[in-house]
Chains A and B, each alone.
Chain A
Amino acid sequence: MSDLKLQHLEKIYDNKVQAVYDFDLDVKHGELIVLVGPSGCGKSTTLRMVAGLEDISRGKLLIDGRDVTRMPPKDRDIAMVFQNYALYGHMTVYENMAFSLMLRKENKNEIHQKVLAAAEILDLTSQLNKKPGQLSGGQRQRVAMGRAIVRKPKVFLFDEPLSNLDAKLRSATRREILLLHKRLDATMLYVTHDQTEALTLADRIVCMSMGHVQQIGTPLELYDDPANIFVATFIGLPPMNLFEVRVENGKAYNNEICVDLTAEEKEKLAGYEGRDVIMGVRPEDIAEGGKIMVDVISNENLGQNTLVNGSAGGHKITCKFRRWCSYKTGDSVNVTFRKKHFFDKDTTAAIKG
């Protein structure tokens, strides 16, 4: 397993459309990096550039210190797992897993041992004689991973591998990928649009939008300390509530909401006195009790918590209460904001102080 360096990668298609702008990332040995973002943000394109399936328009790609920017995919020593599994339907699981090694003309006995070892890791030993059509989606995805594992590549690439699975299986397979990562100590690059996958799997997350990297950091950094409004609303479910407020005399207020700022927030917003900013509050940072009144629109009990959608004056607001609630449409509930985030109205960047 190896280090991976993406140095100022850019992708410009022949029709001059630029899909990726100045992507710069150092992936350490054994790290699991998740590229997350909405559809069309350039995350899959970036992965495909690393795989060699797309040409790199600008920048450099180094694997283990070796420049592989112009190298064909087969020589890069990487393995990719696709969303649609890409298994050979006429071959058994064993043959699917052994196929790439057979092409390399490796010793058949060694191939056998590698396939059995991978099957053992992925709990596929009893399925080796079956064809992909006889397997469930999760098992097929495990076969696809097994095919990658047997090659012992320097870097594993996953392109939305769980998107075709149902919710329960997705969660189980996600855990398996995590265990696999720990067991193999492998360098992995993982693409998803599902922020739950990103938060649970990643050592570090790269959040992308419109071809630009918005923020790189640990899951907690992205959740707790988002770099801009995009990251703040993309990471976290339900998304962060945003309010346009004016900062004045130790308060952040608008026509309907008025909150007192803490000493730390006052210090952070010192340069914004008398100016409008965007205030963000995560639904889980809203607690019952307080002076902000929310008119309830809907009440969704999720078991361990309740989502209450409502409006505070003209602003839509989603609250996540940690108990079973039974508010009805038209009820009013007073809430308070525990943790607040502030963003510059013009640049949308987080105000760090």
Chain B
Amino acid sequence: MGPAIGYIPLTTSVPGWLSTVTLPILSLSVAAVAGVSQQVRGSVIDVLRQDYVRTLRARGLPPGRVLFRHVLRNASAPALTVLGMQFVGLLGGAVLVEQIFGLPGIGSMTVTYTTRGDTPIIMGLVMTTVVCVVVINLVVDLLVGWLNPKARAA
């Protein structure tokens, strides 16, 4: 196990970088993993009840192929949307995680300048994160369009 806190840049040492980011990433993503898997479960159940799944089975396709090729593709669009929305929450979590693990990031920067009351820098940070959120959600929308041709028309 690496050091409990602190940060080693990727350019300094790759194993060092890995040892400083593994725990923060784990703690940040655990909740998101649960949320996404719950969403996928729900939409897989919905898709399994669709008529075309029955028709695919009636064509003699193996269950694994029906599940992974047809059901998962149709079920992943709502899960991706949830993932896009979770990104906002993850940014909030990053503030805490950076503080706990002593990582130099936007989150700990926000905390530092908040306690100093430096409004212009905080405005800039808010803008930066909002732009990130918008870009991520744009990527998600494009992916959903790729997965679900019907959404492209709408």
> Are A and B part of the same complex?
no
Which residues of A come within 8 Å of B, CB atoms?
none
Question: What is the interface of chain B, defined by CB distance below 8 A to chain A?
Answer: none
